[in-house]
Amino acid sequence: MRSIWNGAISFGLVSIPIKLVNATENHSISFRQIHTEDNGRIRYRKFCEPEDREVTQSEIGKGYEDADGTVIPITDDDLSHLPIPTARTIEIVAFVPADRIDPLQMDAAYYLAASGAPAAKPYTLLREALKRSHKVAIAKYALRGRERLGMLRVVGDAIAMHGLLWPDEVRTPEGVAPDVDVTVRDKELDLADALMDTLGEVELEDLHDEYRAALEEVIAAKAAGEAPPEAPEPANGGKVLDLMAALEKSVRAAKGSRGEEAEVTPLPSRGTTKKTAAKKSAEKRSAAKKTTAKKSATKSAAAKKTTEKKATEKKTTAKKTTARKTTPRKRSA
């Protein structure tokens, strides 16, 4: 990989010569501007206003325009001798836990390659120190005419550096969140959790750019003089009138796409909630009345049996008493 910057990492009193190489590459399909009548290439030409003539790239430099319109020329030599320690050095200023870095600050990514054999030992030392500490290094460096903030971390056996935006370059999310009060019910959260669990995880290596693939098909078809493929029918969308129903449908669809049984416990929709609640209340009242009536009947039957038993016992006692009175006693000899 071709280096885009040569310098050194400053790690305390340790200096590590390195080369900076791009860690990412762009696979987007680019287009040319053409004249629609004859497909002629459209080009931009650079003119000097005072001389009203086209100039070459070698004649073009940099300049800063002051508030009053005065242009101050700035040369590459001026930029290379800026009075800052990071002109050719990635200066590590701190080591912090990785979760201290807001992903919103992440910018371009680079690999830091050791420059020559003497850099191998200090490079490896810094890499292993980062591994063992489970931290990232925060550094300052200068690139393309400005001082930048960076984060160094270990990727495999290499040290990578992510450019970071300065904290004042990240906007606050004021005015972005909904400005109305919304209440999320537990059942809605349960279904959202179920949908998240059903979708599960994914290997990022399995994902690909479908837009680029479709665009390549269109270009290939037109190059062969064929009709480009037709776009598929868009998925059914529109306004979500019933969030619960939409969540349930999403869970079923996700399970179906994975070959799982799409069983979701049906939940009442907002339009039927009041009716269902009234129906349940009526059923409860009816059941309560039936239970009370049953208990009353049971108590009456038990009382009747008790009364009858007592009457029977009284009759039996009375008969025995009468029998004793009418039976003559035997006289002794």
* Statement to judge: residues 71 and 134 lie in one domain: yes
Q: Which of 120-134, 190-204, 237-251 has the highest mean pLDDT?
A: 120-134
* Statement to judge: residues 98 and 210 lie in one domain: no
Q: Give the DSSP H/E element, type plus range, for residue 221.
A: helix 210-223
- Per-residue pLDDT band at 195 (split at 50, 70, 90): confident
Is residue 270 a part of any domain in this protein?
no
pTM of the model: 0.61
Is residue 69 a part of any domain in this protein?
yes
Q: What is the pLDDT of residue 302?
A: 58
Res 129 pLDDT > 70: yes
DSSP class of residue 157 equals: T
* Statement to judge: residues 164 and 193 lie in one domain: no
* Statement to judge: residues 81 and 149 lie in one domain: yes
Q: What is the pLDDT of residue 267?
A: 47
* Statement to judge: residues 11 and 76 lie in one domain: yes
Is residue 323 a part of any domain in this protein?
no
The alpha-carbon radius of gyration of the chain (Å, integer) is 43
Tell me the DSSP string of 161-183. Answer: EEEE--GGGSPP-TTTS-SS---
Distances (CA, A) of 299 to 196, 296, 307: 55, 5, 12
pLDDT digits (tens, 9 = 90+) for 247-257: 788 878 777 77
Contact 108, 24 (CB under 8 A): yes
* Statement to judge: residues 130 and 12 lie in one domain: yes
What CATH number should be reported for the domain holding residue 69?
A: 2.40.290.10
Contact 29, 216 (CB under 8 A): yes
Q: What are phi and psi of 213, to 5 degrees?
A: -65, -40
Is residue 40 a part of any domain in this protein?
no
Is residue 321 a part of any domain in this protein?
no
Instruction: Give the tokens for residue 44.
Output: 């931009």
Q: What is the pLDDT of residue 155?
A: 95
Spatial separation of the C-alpha atoms in residues 176 and 159, rounded to whole Å? 36
Is residue 264 a part of any domain in this protein?
no
Contact 127, 120 (CB under 8 A): no
Side chain identity, residue 216:
E
Helices in 9-116 by DSSP H: which ranges? 76-80
- List the beta bridge partners of residue 9: 16, 90
Mean pLDDT to the nearest integer, 309-323: 59
* Statement to judge: residues 91 and 194 lie in one domain: no
Domain's final residue, options 118, 143, 169: 169
Angle at Cα 59 formed by Cα 56 and Cα 64, nearest 5°?
A: 125
Instruction: Give the tokens for residue 15.
Output: 């200096």
Number of domain units in the chain = 2
Res 277 pLDDT > 80: no
Determine the structural domain holding residue 205 and report its residue range. Answer: 186-229+239-257
Res 182 pLDDT > 50: yes
* Statement to judge: residues 193 and 163 lie in one domain: no
Q: What is the pLDDT of residue 311?
A: 62
Is residue 296 a part of any domain in this protein?
no
Percent over 90 (pLDDT), the chain: 34
* Statement to judge: residues 140 and 201 lie in one domain: no
Q: What is the pLDDT of residue 131?
A: 95
Mean pLDDT to the nearest integer, 155-183: 91
DSSP class of residue 41 equals: B
* Statement to judge: residues 16 and 138 lie in one domain: yes
Q: What is the mean pLDDT of the chain?
A: 80
* Statement to judge: residues 124 and 11 lie in one domain: yes
* Statement to judge: residues 16 and 99 lie in one domain: yes
Res 3 pLDDT > 90: no
Spatial separation of the C-alpha atoms in residues 12 and 159, rounded to whole Å? 17
Res 307 pLDDT > 50: yes
Mean pLDDT to the nearest integer, 198-214: 83
Mean pLDDT to the nearest integer, 261-289: 52
Is residue 92 a part of any domain in this protein?
yes
